[in-house]
Amino acid sequence: MRQLLLVLLRRIRRGRPHVLGPGLYLLCLTLAVVGCASHSLVPAAQSAAIRDRERSLASHSDAIQAAVRESGSMGALAFLDAKDGHLVVLPGDSPADAWERYTASPENRTSPVSVPVVVTFVYRTDVPKAPETVTRSGLQQQQALRTSVAAELQRLEERLGLVQRDLASTRQDTDKVLADSRALAEDLAAVRKFMLQTAQLGWLNHESTLENAGSIRKMAASSHELAASSARLEETLRQLSESLARQLKELAARLDAIQGKVQNIK
């Protein structure tokens, strides 16, 4: 088979492509695929089962493409039910998307299908991609991974919601603390103003007390001086009174002497 392929390619290189028709080109491609598959690790029985499945699906290609066009998706998972062999088409934009849509659909719970071990994802005719062969276990693992990721995202969203609520509560507490701080600052400013006014009044009172004390001291000094002056005045009056009494006594004595002399003269 490999030698036949080499001969055909050699003839193409020699510049005689007109000898080969389109069917011969397709035959070359088929020989190349079969030659590559001969070195595959797939067991012969499984390889035969895959070929039979591909041939069976090829007979339903029109129905598969019609279902894909009707769904508006990029393609669909197509397989024959493992129990009764009827065609099953699961539309989706990728194999994982089609499998997720199917597992989430009500039909999966009401009338589930028997999915074979290996299924094929067929792209729409206008999508330049070859059909993909995927396994049921691989789709289930991808779905389990997506479910796990979705659950983790949900858990993270819940934690984010809790954090946001905590932040909102913390913000409210912070706003309350700030309001209390502003009120306390206003109270402190009022107390400081009152204390300043009290200090000013105390200072004025102290100044007034000092002035009153000075006035009292001055009054005391004046009183003391007045008392001393009164004492001096009293002493002076006493001395004047005694001097006046003495002078009057002397005057009376002189008058008596004068009167005696006058009487003697008569």
What would the pLDDT profile of 150-203 be if each residue is shown by its tens digit? Answer: 889 899 999 898 888 888 888 888 888 888 888 888 888 888 888 888 888 878
Q: How far apart are CA 136 and CA 90, in angstroms?
A: 13
| 49 lies in the same domain as 117 | yes
In a domain, 47, yes or no: yes
Q: What is the pLDDT of residue 45?
A: 65
* Residues 33 and 53 occupy one common structural domain: no
* Together in a domain, 123 and 54: yes
**Both 10 and 86 in a single domain?**
no
For residues 66 and 44, give the distance between their C-alpha atoms in angstroms, rounded to a whole number: 33
pLDDT value at residue 41: 53
Domain end (from 68, 103, 130)? 130
Using one digit for the tens of pLDDT, what is the confidence trace for 98-121? Answer: 898 888 888 777 888 888 888 889
| pLDDT, average across residues 199-226 | 80
Q: Is residue 102 part of a domain?
A: yes
Both 63 and 119 in one domain: the answer is yes
pLDDT for position 243: 85
* Tens-digit pLDDT profile for residues 4-16: 444 444 544 444 4
- In this structure, the answer to whether residues 32 and 47 fall within a common structural domain is no
Statement to judge: residues 50 and 34 lie in one domain: no
Residue 99 and residue 65 in one domain: yes
Number of domains in the chain: 2
Give residue 91's pLDDT. Answer: 92
Q: Is residue 161 part of a domain?
A: no
The per-residue pLDDT for 1 is 42
Q: 52 with 30, same domain?
A: no
Domain encompassing residue 29: 1-40
Same domain, 63 and 120: yes
Distance between CA 150 and CA 162 in Å, rounded? 18
What is the separation, in whole angstroms, between the first and last Cα of the chain? Answer: 212
Q: Please indicate, yes or no, whether the overall pTM of this predicted structure exceeds 0.75.
A: no
Separation of alpha carbons 120 and 99, rounded Å? 12
Instruction: Pick the last residue of a domain from 112, 130, 148.
Output: 130
* Predicted confidence (pLDDT) per residue in 33-86, tens digit: 444 444 445 567 666 666 776 777 787 888 889 999 988 889 998 888 888 888
Q: Is the pLDDT of residue 2 over 70?
A: no
Q: Domain ends where: 104, 130, 156?
A: 130
Instruction: Please state, in angstroms and rounded to a whole number, the distance separating the CA atoms of residues 122 and 120.
Output: 6
**Do residues 93 and 75 share a domain?**
yes
